[in-house]
A and B are shown apart, each in its own frame.
Chain A
Amino acid sequence: MIDWQYSESIESPDIVSIKKKYTNYIGGKFVEPKSKKYINTISPSTEELLSKVPLSNEKDINSAVKAAKEGLEVWSKLTPNQRSRYLFKIARLIQERSREFAVLESLDGGKPIKESRDFDLPQVAANFFYFAGWADKLDLSWATKSLKPYGVVGQIIPWNFPLLMLAWKIAPALATGNTVVLKPAETTPLTALLFAEICEQAGLPPGVVNIVTGDGSTGSLIVNHKDINKIAFTGSTQVGKLIQKSLAGRDVGLTLELGGKAANIVYEDAAIDQAVEGVVNGIFFNQGHVCCAGSRLLLQESIHDTFVKKLEKRMQSLRVGNPLDKNTDIGAINSKEQLDKITGLVNEGVEDGGELFQTECELPGNGFWFRPTLFTNVQPSYSIAREEIFGPVLTTLTFRTPEEAVEIANNTEYGLSAGVWTEKGSKILWTADRLDAGVVWANTFNKFDPSSPFGGYKESGFGREGGRHGLLSYLKASS
């Protein structure tokens, strides 16, 4: 009998040199914050300090918006072909420095290097390539000549896919002729600031892209700035609602990409082994820090026990550990706050009466960690079945008929994504038609492509990112 363990296979962090301190990127230059204040950013897997970045204040935001306005003057006078070429150049540069970015992303945010290297970075480059190709053919995208860019766009992005969310925001904004002021999340500012170097390398005209860091107050300043023409926000539903309220009465464009509590529906005639893989991927990918995570498993009652058995076995082989270890499947939880939130909700779930299964695995000493968790014996009224947990926690509910499955799936204020597992084509189409979700994944999950529009119904937000439809988020109809 041989006991076989994987040895560590650690990616070296040496490829990226992290500065002791970073500054904002405004008007094509790296500038110290007028606030003179900085915030620390740590590695969530070790809790060690990585660097410090500006805590920008009103003066800093004013500079950024002013620079964006000046940048707009230049950017709008270029030919579409020229704008396209800048974006192609940026895409190429990202490809060249991919490994560096991937390592930095894992260090700063905690996600496994396997993900940042094989998913995040290729998608980042692909997004810039895709939108580069729209810049010179906007007239083909929608059959109307009366769509114009908003002008100066404020963009606020989350910490779960820092660089990818930046790409989802900046690429279409620039392709459609806007200029941007982007604020990365407080806990994950570093890849955005490294991206600023790419803008410099590409020779992007000053002011077209401006990166300012800070906390919630900084975001507020951007939202409320009088010269911002549009806000694009990805983050929690709670903050999204506040932003929408702030913009009431003002003529400012808005798109929101908020939370989710997606249902992953597994019918009895699904390809079971692949459905297990899809369910696991749906909730444990990126530690569950995904707005479109398949966090509610809706199982047809007839296959409940077989499926749960296979699922638990599969979960047991997930490896939790050092994000820079190439064999790690699940990295660190992004912050202490998030860890506390997850723990709290899981405890509630147990108190409510849910049956808890957690995999047996050793967790590193330092850092923020949570084991893959499965709840069965759950009622739709429990908080773990209704609230977004944003962690590696899967909640199981059962149904008996397709109608019931759809009803339970839609019984939520969210509507971002959903999964449907069955080998019967007509049932997929029937179910997809009835789900109130902006993205339906049939016999797969968490698939993304720059050409595929992404966004939600109901309180998961409005507007789409990606694809031909994604352009509309950055083009304003003029009468």
Chain B
Amino acid sequence: MIDIKKTYKNYVDGKYVRSESGKTYTKELKNELYELPLTSRKDVRDTVTSSKSGFNKWNGMTPYTRMQILYRLSEMIEGNKESYIELLVSHGMSKQKANKDIELAIENIIWFAGLADKWEQLAGNLNPVSEEYFNISHQNPIGVVFTLSKSTVSLNDLLSSLLPPLTIGCSVISYSEESSVLALKFAEDINNSDFPPGSLNILTGKFENILDDVSKHVEINLVALHKEIENDGLKRIQENASSSVKRIVSLPSISGLSSILPFLETKTVWHPKGT
């Protein structure tokens, strides 16, 4: 007898929502059947609207506040460790590996939380121009970022894909295919961590269905792909992106300072010095 699990829903704008298409797809794990949202093109459009306003709220907070919210997320996950391990095990992971994965994920969040109020000191700088001007280069987050999660089922991998843009102030639309159940469970901890609505939205489904919409949507500022796309998918994405000079990053670095670099825009300001 197969146990039918609750219907997981997408997490958009601080709320749990079904796909507007009403469609779902199933995933069978051990003796349980999961129904997951099959995100549609209209869902994507609605999510981007949410992410835009989420960006204003998230980026409008002080770095100190973002740091505290991220740290709280680590506390939430720490508290729910057992249930995460259980879920990973039902995906076929050994208990030992699952434990390690969650540990690493928490360590990772803490690392990025502590980066939230420091990265600007590492990425920005004064420029020693040769005239009587004050000249500074500082960075702004690029805006709304769409990330396609890795195909592995790992909390650490999932977080590694969304933490870099999130930490520096971007709002993130995190899209998962294979790790969908994990992603939507994770959404519950986001919900408990004081993230402003729209700052982090979680969607699941088949990427092929929304590939064109995502790569053409002018209000998605950057698309980060953490897995290979089949059948010339990447080429198609890049061609679509060119029509609005959208940034596409394929398999970006996920750790260290270099992980945040793709998500920044540098602004240089000049001001004369004199009486």
Cβ–Cβ < 8 Å partners of B20 in chain A: none
Interface 9-residue window, one of A27-35, A81-89, A316-324: A81-89
Closest chain B CB from A92 CB (angstroms): 8
Closest chain B CB from A413 CB (angstroms): 26
Interface 9-residue window, one of B108-116, B171-179, B226-234: B108-116
Q: With A and B bound together, what is the CA distance between A426 and B132 in angstroms?
A: 10
Which of B67, B71, B121 has a CB less than 8 Å from the CB of A467?
A: B121
Cβ–Cβ < 8 Å partners of A84 in chain B: 110-111, 114
Closest chain A CB from B111 CB (angstroms): 5
Contact call A425/B68, Cβ cutoff below 8 A: no
Contact call A136/B111, Cβ cutoff below 8 A: yes
For A132-143 the 0/1 string (1 means CB < 8 A from B) is 111111001100
* Given A81-B107, A426-B273, A429-B134, A134:B121 Cβ within 8 A: no
Which chain A residue shows the least CB distance to B71? A88
Closest chain A CB from B201 CB (angstroms): 26
Cβ–Cβ < 8 Å partners of A430 in chain B: 273-275
The bracket for how many chain B residues form the interface is: 20 to 34
Contact call B271/A133, Cβ cutoff below 8 A: no
Cβ–Cβ < 8 Å partners of A81 in chain B: 107, 110-111
Q: Is A129 an interface residue (CB 8 A)?
A: yes
Which chain A residue shows the least CB distance to B104? A81
Contact call B121/A451, Cβ cutoff below 8 A: yes
Interface residues of B in 97-156 (CB under 8 A from A): 107, 110-111, 113-118, 121-122, 134
Q: With A and B bound together, what is the CA distance between A89 and B5 in angstroms?
A: 37
For A8-49 the 0/1 string (1 means CB < 8 A from B) is 000000000000000000000000000000000000000000
Cβ–Cβ < 8 Å partners of B117 in chain A: 129-130, 133, 450-451
A-B CB contacts (within 8 Å), total count: 69
Cβ–Cβ < 8 Å partners of B274 in chain A: 426-427, 429-430
| Interface residues on chain A, number (Cβ under 8 Å) | 26
Which chain A residue shows the least CB distance to B74? A88
Cβ–Cβ < 8 Å partners of B271 in chain A: 425-426, 429
* Given A134-B114, A451-B117, A427:B275 Cβ within 8 A: yes
Q: With A and B bound together, what is the CA distance between A126 and B114 in angstroms?
A: 12
* Given A129-B67, A129-B68, A468-B118, A402:B111 Cβ within 8 A: no
Contact call B67/A133, Cβ cutoff below 8 A: yes
Q: With A and B bound together, what is the CA distance between A429 and B274 in angstroms?
A: 7
Q: With A and B bound together, what is the CA distance between A137 and B134 in angstroms?
A: 30
Q: With A and B bound together, what is the CA distance between A134 and B121 in angstroms?
A: 12
Contact call B275/A137, Cβ cutoff below 8 A: no
Closest chain B CB from A319 CB (angstroms): 30
Most chain B beta-carbon neighbours within 10 Å: one of A88, A136, A433, A467? A88
Listed in ascending order, the chain A residues whose CB lies under 8 Å from chain B are 81, 84-85, 88, 126, 129-130, 132-137, 140-141, 402, 425-427, 429-430, 433, 450-451, 467-468
